Amino acid sequence: MAASATAPPESSKLRRIVAASLIGTTIEWYDFFLYGSAAALVFNKLFFPESDPLVGTLLSFLTYAVGFAARPLGALVFGHYGDRLGRKKLLVLSLLLMGGATFAIGLLPTHATIGSAAPVLLTVLRLVQGFALGGEWGGAVLLVSEHGDARRRGFWASWPQTGAPAGQLLATGVLSALTALLSDAAFTSWGWRIPFLLSGVLVIVGLWIRLSVDESPVFKAALAQAEQRKATTDQVERMPLVAVLRHHWRDVLVAMGARMAENISYYVITAFILVYATTSAGLSKQTALNAVLIASAVHFAVIPFWGALSDRIGRRPVYLIGAVGVGAWMFPFFALIDAKSFGSLLLAVTVGLVLHGAMYAPQAAFFSEMFATRMRYSGASIGAQFSSVAAGAPAPLIATALLADYGSSTPIALYVIAAALLTVVAIACARETRDRDLASVEAGPQGEDSNRDTRESSAADAPASA
C-alpha cells in the first residue's frame, strides 16, 4: 500500500493537482494581502479617522495583526480534521471562509457611517480571514507533496508557495490600477471596495477547480492502515495534536524557528515598505505599489527554481542561503530606498524577495517531510502558523513603531537581522529531509514515528513524472 501511495502520478493529474492548490492559495493570499495593502493605504483614514496619520496607521496595522492571531486556531482546527477527514474537504471550507470574509469587507460601512462599530466589524472579519488562512497553507502544500513525484517533491511543492507572491501580485496590481485610474478622493470614497468585492468571483473559480481533484493517496493509504489497526488491535489513535506534541515537538520548534526570518522579512519588504517609502523616503503611493508589483512577479518566478535546487542539494542549504542573505541585505535594502528613486526602490524590494524565496520555496516540502501522515496536517500547520503570531503578525507594527520612535531604519534592519540569526540556529538544528518517503514516515499504533529515517530508494529508482 505504501508503494502505491508513493508511486509518481500521471503527469496530467499531478499538474491538475498543482494548479488546484496554486489557484486556491493565490485567491486566499490575494484576500489576505489585500487587507495588508489597504491597511497601509486607506484603512487608517476610513476606520480610525480621529487619530493622527502615523497613529492611525499603527491602529490599522493592529487590526492587520489580529488576523495572524487567529491563524494558530485555524491551524489547530483544520489540522485536526484534515488529519482525520482528509485534505480536500478542509481546503474547500477554508476557501469559502476566506472569500466570504473578504467580500464582506468590501461591503463594510466605515467610521463615518456607523462610528466605532466599523473598526470592530473590520476586526471580526479579519479574524475570520486569519482562521481560514491558518488552515489553508498546510492542506494546500500537503495535497501536492503527497501526490507528487518523490524525487522532485521540492519543485512540485514549491508551486503552492507561489500562491503568496501571485496573491500579492494580484492584490497590488488591482490596487495599483485603481490608484492610477481614480483620484485619491474617489479611491478613498469607494474605489478601495472593488478589489474586496472581486474576491467573490475568484472564490467561485477556485471552488470549481479545487472540487475537481482527488484526495491524497498517501493520506488514503494511512487512513486505511489506521482503520485496519483499530479493527485488529482495538487501539484508538491519539488526537493528531497530542501525537504531534509528544513525538514531533522538536520538529515543531524547528519549523517555528525557520519561519521567523521568512515571515518577518516578507512583511517588512512588502507591507511596511508602503509606509516607509511614502513617508520617510517621500515617494508616491503609486511608485511604491509599482515596485512591489514588479518584485512580486520576480518572486513568483524564482520560487520554483529554489524548490528544484532543494531537490538537488537539500532543503537545509537552500533555506540557509535565504536566511543569511536576507539578514545581510537589510542595511543595503533601506539605503537603496533612501536614495528616493524608483530604480533603487525596485532593486531593494526585488533582491529582498528573491532571497526570501530561498526560504519560502523549500518550506513546503521541508515541513511536510518532518511529520507522519496521520499528524502531518496538524504538525505542518502548527509549526508554520504558531510562529506567525510572533513573526509576521507584529512585523509591520513593530517596524512602524521603531520608525516613529527613532526616525531611522537602523533599528528595523537590526530587527530583521535578529530574526535571521534565529532562523539560522533553527535550520542548523534540523535534520535534512530531502530523502524521506512520505508514506514510510508513518505513525505507529500509538502515534509513534516508526520510520523517521527511511530512505526513498524505491522512489529514487522510479522514473520522473514530468
Read off the pLDDT of residues 108-153 as tens digits, 9 standing for 90 and up. Answer: 998 888 887 888 888 888 889 889 888 888 888 888 888 767 788 9
Q: What is the pTM of this model?
A: 0.80
Task: Render pLDDT for 63-78 as a digit per residue (tens, 0 to 9).
Answer: 767 777 888 888 888 8
Residue 436: phi and psi, rounded to 5, are -85, 140
Question: Among 151, 172, 164, 406, which residue's Cα sits nearest to residue 265?
Answer: 164
CA 444, CA 450: separation in Å to the nearest integer? 6
pLDDT at residue 417 in the model: 97
Task: Answer whether 278's CB lies under 8 Å from 337's CB.
Answer: no
Question: Among 277, 264, 339, which residue's Cα sits nearest to residue 41?
Answer: 277
- Identify the three-state secondary structure at position 175: helix
Residue 339: phi and psi, rounded to 5, are -70, -15
Say how many C-beta atoms besides its own lie within 10 A of residue 285's C-beta: 18
Residue 108: phi and psi, rounded to 5, are -70, 130
Question: Among 301, 221, 214, which residue's Cα sits nearest to residue 20?
Answer: 214
Question: Among 398, 437, 429, 282, which residue's Cα sits nearest to residue 345?
Answer: 282
Region of residue 314 (phi > 0: left; psi between -120 and 50: alpha; otherwise: beta): left
**Alpha carbon 145 to its chain's center:** 16
CA 379, CA 141: separation in Å to the nearest integer? 13
Task: Answer whether 307's CB lies under 8 Å from 363's CB.
Answer: no
pLDDT at residue 6 in the model: 47
CA 449, CA 10: separation in Å to the nearest integer? 29
Task: Render pLDDT for 271-299 as a digit per residue (tens, 0 to 9).
Answer: 888 889 988 888 887 888 889 889 989 99
pLDDT at residue 440 in the model: 62
Query: Residue 215: enclosing H or E segment and its boundaries?
Result: none
- Please report, for residues 27, 32, 229, 274, the alpha-carbon distance to residue 200 in angstroms, rounded to integers and kept in the order given: 10, 14, 44, 26
With a cut of 50, list the residues of the chain below it in pLDDT. Answer: 1-6, 443-466
